[in-house]
């Protein structure tokens, strides 16, 4: 079993000048490809169950799937709840075997976000697992706009919540399908001056590849969440698998053909964060 907590993979990343990929999972096929990619690259990996994943697969099932995959490899695997919105949801993930809880109170007033995140962090730490929080709001491509992280508020948030990692809003957006964005490095440096907690970038798919690696090597950003570009790789592979034989109807055979392309896409993400060989 190679299950790890978030702190157990992020602290070495801070010291080693790389970032750990938080890979957004939707089902068995992609999460298995991600675990195999981490094994092939000798990299730690964070398997993440976000709201869309939890909408069709119960948390106890996801926890068992993540733990099964962790047992099948010999690199560190974090079973991570992504964007938990309630204390009850976070508690269910903890009881389901997750080793890291991300509580998202970023839409709430600062005081409420601090109070509720601190409750989750306290619960997580009592169970020997990790907690990630978010300060500032990371918006969505074509949807809700972002609210950038204020460095002074970030310092207060990190200090008063006791979190192990802090997601920040510095020009990143969820669901971006290209790499034409770019993060506000001046804001990142201002946040770094006021806090020592490992930083997390949600919406990492939209960050230019060169900037991803640069920040992984030179900043306190120790985790990049990557979802959209891997979903795109899965979708392209699935379309190819169906098109190669329109008469084929066995879903197991069709989905099997997505494994190689998705695994290779995940390996590219890992290499692009400098995490290869760090397990």
User: Are 89 and 123 a contacting pair, CB within 8 Å?
Assistant: no
| Confidence band of 205 (pLDDT split at 50, 70, 90) | confident
Residue with tokens 């099948």: 72
Structural domain boundaries, residue 150: 3-272
Find, among 131, 60, 47, the residue nearest to 95 by Cα.
60
| Confidence band of 148 (pLDDT split at 50, 70, 90) | confident
Q: Based on the structure, what is the number of domains in the chain?
A: 1
Residue 144 predicted with pLDDT over 60: no
Has residue 127 been placed in a domain?
yes
Predicted pLDDT at 142: 53
Has residue 262 been placed in a domain?
yes
Q: What is the pTM of this model?
A: 0.94
Has residue 279 been placed in a domain?
no
Tell me: the pLDDT tens digits for 175-190? Answer: 555 556 678 899 999 9
Has residue 9 been placed in a domain?
yes
- Which of these is catalytic: 30, 74, 82, 184? 82
Has residue 277 been placed in a domain?
no
Predicted pLDDT at 143: 57
152 is annotated as an active-site residue: no
Output the domain CATH number for residue 231: 3.20.20.70
Q: How far apart are CA 182 and CA 160, in angstroms?
A: 30
Has residue 118 been placed in a domain?
yes
Predicted pLDDT at 276: 98
Q: For the chain, what is the radius of gyration of the CA atoms?
A: 18
């Amino acid at each position: 079993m190679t299950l790890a907590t978030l702190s157990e993979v992020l602290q070495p990343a801070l010291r080693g000048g790389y970032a750990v990929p938080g890979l957004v999972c939707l089902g068995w096929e992609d999460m298995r490809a991600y675990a195999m990619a981490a094994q092939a690259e000798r990299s730690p990996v964070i398997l993440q169950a976000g709201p869309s994943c939890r909408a069709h697969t119960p948390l106890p099932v996801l926890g068992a799937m993540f733990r099964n995959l962790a047992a099948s490899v010999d690199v560190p695997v974090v079973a991570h709840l992504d964007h938990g919105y309630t204390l009850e949801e976070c508690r269910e993930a903890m009881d389901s075997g997750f080793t890291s809880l991300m509580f998202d109170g970023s839409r709430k007033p600062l005081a409420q976000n601090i109070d509720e995140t601190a409750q989750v962090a306290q619960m997580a730490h009592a169970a020997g697992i990790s907690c990630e929080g978010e300060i500032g709001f990371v918006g969505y491509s074509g949807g809700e706009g972002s609210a950038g992280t204020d460095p002074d508020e970030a310092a207060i948030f990190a200090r008063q919540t006791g979190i192990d990692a802090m997601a920040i809003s510095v020009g990143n957006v969820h669901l971006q399908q290209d790499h034409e964005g770019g993060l506000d490095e001046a804001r990142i440096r201002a946040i770094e001056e006021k806090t020592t907690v490992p930083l997390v970038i949600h919406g990492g798919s939209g960050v230019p590849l060169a900037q991803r690696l640069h920040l992984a090597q030179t900043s306190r950003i120790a985790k990049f969440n990557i979802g959209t570009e891997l979903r795109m790789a899965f979708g392209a592979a699935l379309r190819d698998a169906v098109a190669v034989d329109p008469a084929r109807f066995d879903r197991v055979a069709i989905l099997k053909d997505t494994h190689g392309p998705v695994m290779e896409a995940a390996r590219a993400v890992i290499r692009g964060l400098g995490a290869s060989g760090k397990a």
